[in-house]
Amino acid sequence: MITPFKTDGSINYETAQKLASYLVENGSDTILLCGTTGESPTLTREEEYQLFQEVKMAIADRGGKVLAGTGSNSTQDAIVATQKAAKLGVDGTLQVVPYYNNPPQAGLYQHFKAIAEACADLPLMLYNIPSRTGCNLEPETVIELAKIDNIIGIKEASGSLDAASQIRASTPNNFAIYSGDDSLTLPLLAVGGNGVVSVASHLVGNALQDAIAACENGELQVATAIHLKLFPLFKALFYSTNPIPIKTALNLQGWDVGGVRLPLCEIPAEVETKLKAVLEELGLL
């Protein structure tokens, strides 16, 4: 989920609650907070903790779950943040591959193992996004990490179906593999994936659920038709750096989610016009 801001740049917790409730009622099983789409690099830990509490409060009676982004390139910082999130009642955490310090695979294994052991009662999802972190979590490392009881899945955003296939072939069926890219959800499901950590779900959550259900029911033509219909939207939401386009789209729909924090910035008017045309074509405005 995006993180809504007020005009002064502070978090709009009221809108966050409303948006989270809307998402749960429109196709999202779990709300991921403070991930890439939530602008986690520019949120303080205190802002994150309050966001976890506010959203959990808003969606608990609707059956929605909260997955908290508490990862870091400091193992100790990730442990402290994850332990705090556990005390706040989140349902699981997302742990991004450490960025900038470029650890070897052995270091990555020890990093995630240490977090999992320090928070043994809380489910942990790995998050591999080398385009952002500069470091790839290799399938062999994921396969070893999957042997740890509370490491329950991965958000695989490397764009490699070979990696997803290798992970699926060598992990238990209950180890979840989620696409990190809306446009790759259908092919990932075809090689044994389970779902998507989605950006487009802000706009078309029910349709995404329909596509995944159709795939699970063996109705590949139905799933493909939905995928192809939504494909222009998947691409449009990356006309600029995520989450700039999705926040723009939500504001065009009438959601007061504000802008983005620097160093992100607003998209040029001509790009917004292109985005608006895609939204209109799909009946989203």
Residues designated catalytic? 127, 155
> How many Å apart are CA 276 and CA 76, to the nearest integer?
43
Question: What are the counts of helices (DSSP H) followed by strands (DSSP E) for the chain?
Answer: 12, 7
- Alpha helices, DSSP H, located in the chain: 13-25, 45-59, 75-87, 105-118, 130-133, 139-145, 161-169, 185-190, 201-216, 220-236, 244-253, 269-281
Angle between helices 220-236 and 201-216 (to 10 degrees): 160
Helical segments of 134-265, H only: 139-145, 161-169, 185-190, 201-216, 220-236, 244-253
Residue 267 near residue 275 (C-beta atoms within 8 A):
yes
